Amino acid sequence: MTTMETTKTIPDTLGDLRKLFRKYSTEDWEPIPGDGDHSYAVRWLQAGQWMTVSSLIQPTKAKNLRQCYQVIQYLFLWGSRGVGGVSQGVTFIHGGLAVTGNHQPEDALAEAYATLGVEPTTSMEEITSIYRTKSRYAHPDGVQDPEEKQVREARSKRLNHAYQVIEKARA
């Protein structure tokens, strides 16, 4: 197997994802970097249901995020052509294993902006408003289903972390 050939950085792909989700009027979305490894996942809300695509086969976070972007792009393209029915647990394999690079510090800020779904040029006042709105939606209280509660707790933590990263960067 070979690795994906791309010069796209994490901020480049996050920008492409923003455009893609805007084009298809996606309700909400978030990038989810892997903890301590080079994996990446992207979740999006479509017709009231969360969909997730993840990749860990590529040797870097940037390439795994790009892999997610390409899969999502095809899913939207297929959906627009009437093809549906994505099955949970389907695995897309493209690329091979190689020595991984380290997560770059500048990627943390780009990921924080993407997690909140805002552009780097968005005012702090608007970021705060969006953060509060998303935090209310992601809050686990009042949810009975244990699985959904776990998902919301994790999302709430990601939103809080993203907001703190942006606040610190702008201080």
Asked which of 2-6, 80-84, 96-100 is least confident by mean pLDDT, the reply is 96-100
Single out the residue of 94, 105, 8, 102 nearest to residue 58, CA to CA: 94
The mean of the pLDDT values for the chain is 80
12 or 1, greater pLDDT: 12
What does pTM read for this prediction? 0.61
Q: What was the pLDDT predicted at 129? A: 93
> What is the mean pLDDT of the segment spanning 28-41?
86
Report how far residue 91's alpha carbon sits from residue 109's, in angstroms, rounded to the nearest whole number: 29
Domains and CATH numbers, the chain: 1-100 (3.30.160), 104-171 (1.10.287.110)
Asked which of 61-65, 81-85, 154-158 is least confident by mean pLDDT, the reply is 81-85
Report how far residue 57's alpha carbon sits from residue 83's, in angstroms, rounded to the nearest whole number: 26
The 3 state secondary structure assigned to the chain is CCCCCCCCCHHHHHHHHHHHHHHCCCCEEEEEECCCCCCEEEEEEECCEEEEEEECCCCCHHHHHHHHHHHHHHHHHHHHCCCCCCCCCCCCCCCCCCCCCCCCHHHHHHHHHHHHCCCCCCCHHHHHHHHHHHHHHHCCCCCCCHHHHHHHHHHHHHHHHHHHHHHHHHC
77 or 96, greater pLDDT: 77
Query: Does residue 157 register a pLDDT over 70?
Result: yes
Angle at Cα 163 formed by Cα 159 and Cα 165, nearest 5°?
Answer: 115
Most confident stretch, 48-62, 106-120, 125-139 = 125-139
Query: Tens digit of pLDDT for each residue in 13-23?
Result: 998 999 999 99
